[in-house]
Chains A and B, each alone.
Chain A
Amino acid sequence: MSDINQKDFEKAYCNMKAPDELKTDTLKRMWEENEERKTPEKSASRKKAILFRGFALATALCAAAVVMFLIQPKGASYVTPMEEGEYYDKVELKDGTICFVKNRVVISISPNAGTVTIGQEGQDETEHEDEIPEAEEILTKSGGVINYQRINAISLPEIAESNWSYIGDQKIYVTVLNAADIRYQAVFEKNGTAYEMTGTNVTQKEFIDELYRRVKKVRK
């Protein structure tokens, strides 16, 4: 068959017909649609009902969001405000996994059950570079104190994978402890050694600024 003509097409399509039940069902739906259009009051009241329901739902969702924000449920986290591009939060997907392109600090408010160990037990202290002190205390402008120390290993309450912070590709555990004087805590690991930083009576900005500085120094 090399020449295509009308007869071939007629033959090809002659058995292709719209199924009867499809026709019946469509006609029925057409009448229903037409009836609805003919009774504008009914259709208007239906629209009003839909609008009202939508409005009620939106109000309920807003209220729920406000309540959730005020209550801060378990496992909630607070993503820090970014500053001058330093704590820039940019997430992209690479082969289906989330990659933090730039820095991102998430402060977990209430960690989940379970524990996570950061650092390795029995790490040789002499391996550390000299410029990284074993322990340090820094007084902040707001009158708070930041303690920074090198430790072997530490067990902490588990946090969700998405709540880990990153500065560059350094993964950091950051949480705020439920104490009266607001103690921020950050722990990260480099070459098997854990570094812990706690902030008492410090502002969030002071704590993150110091954390950023420390991580950069360790990563050098």
Chain B
Amino acid sequence: MNSPDNRYRVDFEKSIERYSDMIYRIAVTITKNEEDAKDVFQETFLRLVRNHEKIVSEEHLKAWLIRVVSNCAKTTVSSPWNRNTQGFEKERETQESSYEPGENRLLSELKKLPQKYSVVLYLYYYEGYSIKEIGKLLEKNENTIKTLMSRGRELLRDKLEGGEQDE
């Protein structure tokens, strides 16, 4: 929304309307846990309130939100609590060879991938960002993103093919 003085102003309600699903998906993709994802979701939008004056355009808003949600989610994942309880979760994940009934197969396998791969794959395939744009969003080198993409795709393909053979 542009104000009469031509300055971009963030409309909180519209931001929630437009970006809530995207923020939630990224949060779930990184944290792999709906409860943590909800906390990350709220923290991201509260940070928007504190920083909305710095946002200059709609594209900037979207990119800013992606960067913040991804940083918040990574912080949550690497918190001491999560690190200490991760062992059980990881064990559980490896024990679960099949996906939950009714859950999309690709999504189920994506959740099992390390977050560094799954978030890059999500941004590329679902949000349609280019490798260069993802690099800027996640503040990473373009080549790093290429490597993450290729390794992530490979892992995902292996998991999907492995599952098909099992079936």
Contacts and interface: CB of A to CB of B under 8 A. Distances in A.
B12 A6 contact: no
Interface stretch (B20-28, B71-79, B81-89): B20-28
Nearest to B45: A26
Nearest to A1: B160
A34 interface: yes
Interface in A1-26: 1-2, 4-6, 8-13, 15-19, 22-23, 25-26
A216 to B, nearest CB: 42
Given A18-B41, A30-B45, A6 B125 contact: yes
Interface string B42-86: 100110111000000000000000000000000000000000000
B106 A34 contact: no
B104 A34 contact: no
Nearest to B44: A26
B166 to A, nearest CB: 13
B12 A8 contact: no
Contact of B38 (A4, A6, A22): A22
B110 A12 contact: yes
B1 interface: no
Given A11-B104, A11-B106, A12-B104, A5 B41 contact: no
A98 B98 CA distance: 44
Contacts of A190: none
Contacts, number: 87
Contact of A37 (B23, B50, B110): B50
A33 interface: yes
Given A23-B20, A26-B16, A13 B122 contact: yes
Interface in B81-111: 104-107, 110
Interface residues of B, number: 33
A16 B122 contact: no
A44 interface: no
B157 interface: yes
B131 interface: no
Contacts of A79: none
A31 interface: yes
Interface string A14-58: 011111001101110111011001000000000000000000000
A34 B122 CA distance: 31
A176 B26 CA distance: 63
Contacts of A5: 125
B5 interface: no
B114 interface: no
Nearest to A25: B42
B156 interface: yes
Given A1-B105, A27-B13, 5 more contacts: A9-B125, A15-B104, A29-B46, A30-B46, A34-B49
18 contacts: A4-B106, A4-B160, A8-B106, A9-B126, A10-B126, A12-B104, A12-B107, A12-B110, A16-B107, A18-B21, A18-B23, A22-B38, A23-B20, A26-B16, A27-B45, A29-B46, A30-B12, A34-B12
Interface of A: 1-2, 4-6, 8-13, 15-19, 22-23, 25-27, 29-31, 33-34, 37
